[in-house]
Amino acid sequence: MAGGSVSLHFCVVTTGFGGDAIIFRMGQNQVLQDGGRRRFLAACTAVGVGNTLLPGVLLGLATAAQAQSGGAAKSGESEVRELPKITVEMIDAAAGIAGISLTAEQKKMMLEGLSSQRDAVVAIRGLKLENSVAPAVVFDPVPGGMVLETERKPLKISAQADVSGLSASVAAGLAGESDALAFATVRELAELVKTRKVTSVALTKMYLTRLKKYDPKLHFVITLTEERALASAAAADAEIAAGKYRGPLHGIPWGAKDLLAVKGYRTTWGAGGFEQQSFDYDAEVVKRLDAAGAVLVAKLTMGALAQGDLWFGARTRNPWNSKQGSSGSSAGSASAAAAGCVGFAIGTETLGSISSPSTRCGATGLRPTFGFVPRTGAMALSWSMDKIGPICRAVEDCALVLSAIYGPDGHDLSVQNAAFNWDAGFDWKTLRVGYIESAFKAPELKKDANAEAKAGYAQRMYDLKYATAALDALKKMGVALVPVEMPKFPFGDIVPVLEAEAAAAFDDLTRSGRDKLLTGQMPFDWPNSFRVARFYSAVDYVQTMRARTLAMAEMAKVFAEVDVMVTPSNGAQLTATNLTGHPAVILPNGVRGMDAPPSLHPEDGALENVGGPGTPVSLTFLGKLYSDARLAAFARAYQQATGFHRLHPKLD
């Protein structure tokens, strides 16, 4: 998902975890240091801030006052002793943020209770909660009355893949003289491995060679797991030779987003200050892929603490245009999969972190229903929104991976006992398919638009033809498309819940000042977002979660009319469906031609360097909760009809 002079204002930013959100930004230090209480209250009044008074605000104000006087905040009882006494003036400042009015008598009456609350906050801080400790409250996206399918059925993969062409090029692929093998789908690689036309060791060495060759250009590797990989591959070959075939992932090399713990290797979370962090266990997803016989070849890059594509070493790049970032935060997973440097990869999404890099890099991503895949052993950003899913080159690949990693583990209590029954032969024509009508209409250009706005409009109009062509392709497949619209609901205003949970997950990072070690220090980066979130009250968090219940009900109404929704991969749907937990399949939908409008900011590595000739576009299919298998079957049908997943970047 995810720092001088600082001002107090509202702004619209594109978050590092995908989607647009209205975020309240406040520079507490400047306000307190440069103007004192009156200027602080005047600024709050000017923007009409509407939060409820909270001890966290008072604690923040007291800590700032302490810093001005040269004190240093500590944890536990010493922090209680050293913090200044809460005063009526502090309550005035906090009330300004809260947007409430208090009489002099009310403020005096509150002093004792607020001091007690602050002491309780400090006591909890003294527990030094690890990132792995989840809240006692568990988010459940399932509305009342919904019955989940729980019976697990045998995996039904597609008919035997025709690998005759690949078989002929295996030797050339292993020698680096052809890239056909490297860009093969998991289904095709599985057929080659199963029939022993290629060994897992040979595939593993090929992908390790490609990772080493292209990492200097694309910056998608944090740590190669070469020793582990070669041992796993040799074991896979021995088992297959002995007739002990575990399934379609057996012997297939893969890459993990570097928020999944892997014993014996560092897990950096992509963040400065965590470069040498390691855990003495494997994440549950890693265990399950090990059990499926898959071969872990690399820990892949992620934006720092799951924000964007900028990590402590570099910015991960788009293999179609290496001057562009890969987007994020599953930056390395999408880049490496799209570049043919792993058989498949694992990413995560909180608010766009599978969707956005899959779109930018031309990969196929499956963001599962919230609560399908256990997150045990993965970095927590937002307990009520984090999801783990595959990033591959084809939809069926994603389904095969999800089949191996889903289901309860007894530790992540958000995981439902729901079944993911992949059936490549599912009759997708039985599904009711809608499309978000407004998302396929031309955007409006204001008469007084400046040059940059006009250039952006030209880009959107150019891309629109790919979206409308997708509707035509679906109609040719015999799909009867039903126009639908997203509910008119303030989904974006629920996003501060994510930032509050993220700030809690990294509470010590902010309080210790180690947030200065993170590479990104812009107003939209985590260090500033975490500080802002500390002024979001517990009352407003609860109220917003109540609003989220209404949002879930609104989305349930839409999905009562259709089973699948088709949409471009951006827009309001991205925020809405991440908040309500709905699954999505993001797949390539073509490559922009040489006549495409150029990027508005073609500078090397610029955040705004997106689009332009020769870069991919994508399409998203949304599904009902826990209907991921049917959704994937429909997306696979579209992918087979169009073949866009067979396009790949030229890296040399």
Which pLDDT tens digit goes with each residue over 109-156?
A: 999 999 999 898 889 989 999 999 999 999 999 998 899 999 999 999
Amino acid, res. 631: L
Tell me, yes or no, whether 175 and 310 share the same domain: yes
Does 178 reside within a domain? yes
Counting residues of the chain whose pLDDT is more than 70, the rounded percentage is 87
Same domain, 268 and 382: yes
**Active-site residue, from 158, 232, 322, 329:** 329
Q: What is the CATH number of the domain that holds 400?
A: 3.90.1300.10
Examine the fold and report which residue of 516, 535, 554 is the final residue of a domain before the chain moves on. Answer: 535
What would the pLDDT profile of 172-188 be if each residue is shown by its tens digit?
A: 999 999 999 999 999 99
Beta bridge partners of 621: 566, 585
Q: Are 207 and 220 in contact (CB under 8 A)?
A: no
Residues 208 and 335 reside in one and the same domain: yes
Residues 184 and 120 in one domain: no
Same domain, 516 and 581: no
Q: Does the pLDDT at position 14 exceed 90?
A: no
Averaged pLDDT for residues 279-286? 98
Q: Please tell me the total count of domains within the chain.
A: 2
Task: Say if residue 58's pLDDT is above 80.
Answer: no
Domain end call among 485, 520, 535: 535
28: pLDDT strictly greater than 50: no
Q: Which residues are CB-neighbours of 106 under 8 A, at least 6 positions away?
A: none
Residue 271 lies in a domain: yes
Do residue 517 and residue 580 come from a single domain?
no
HEC states along 307-326? Answer: CCCECCCCECEECCEEEEEC
H helices then E strands: how many in the chain? Answer: 21, 15
Residue (of 542, 545, 549, 547) closest to 54 by Cα position: 542
413 and 508: one domain?
Answer: no
Catalytic residue list contains 257: yes
* Residue 636 is assigned to a structural domain of this protein: yes
318 and 171 fall within a common domain? yes
Annotation says 329 is catalytic: yes
Range of the domain at 104: 9-127+494-535
Among candidate residues 257, 299, 387, 624, the one labeled active-site is 257
In 242-325, alpha helices (H): 284-291
Nearest to 51 by CA among 113, 95, 101: 95
pLDDT digits (tens, 9 = 90+) for 370-394: 999 999 999 999 999 999 999 999 9
Residue 18 near residue 574, CB atoms below 8 Å: yes
Q: Which of 142, 134, 152, 148 is nearest to 402 (CA)?
A: 152
Classify residue 262: in a domain, yes or no. Answer: yes
Asked whether residue 471 is assigned to any structural domain, the reply reads no
Tell me if 489 is assigned to some domain: no
Tens of pLDDT, residue by residue over 465-504, are 999 999 999 999 999 999 999 999 999 999 999 999 999 9
147 assigned to some structural domain? no
> Distance between CA atoms of 337 and 358, rounded to whole angstroms?
9
Out of 158, 335, 353, 358, the active site residue is: 353
Long-range CB pairs of 467-473 (<8 Å, 24+ gap) are 467/439, 467/440, 467/568, 467/589, 467/617, 467/619, 468/440, 469/590, 470/566, 470/589, 470/619, 470/638, 470/642, 471/435, 471/440, 471/566, 473/638, 473/641, 473/642
The answer to the question of residue 136 being in a domain is no
**Long-range CB contact pairs, 112-120, < 8 A, 24+:** 114/55, 114/58, 114/86, 115/85, 115/86, 117/55, 118/55, 118/58, 118/59, 118/62, 118/80, 118/83, 118/86, 119/80, 120/55
Residue 355 annotated to the active site: no
Is pLDDT larger for residue 93 or for residue 269?
269
Q: Looking at the structure, do residues 120 and 178 belong to the same domain, yes or no?
A: no
What is the H or E stretch that residue 256 is in? Answer: strand 253-257
Q: Are residues 57 and 202 in the same domain?
A: no
Both 119 and 237 in one domain: the answer is: no
Residue 59: per-residue pLDDT: 58
Residues 111 and 168 placed together within one structural domain of the fold: no
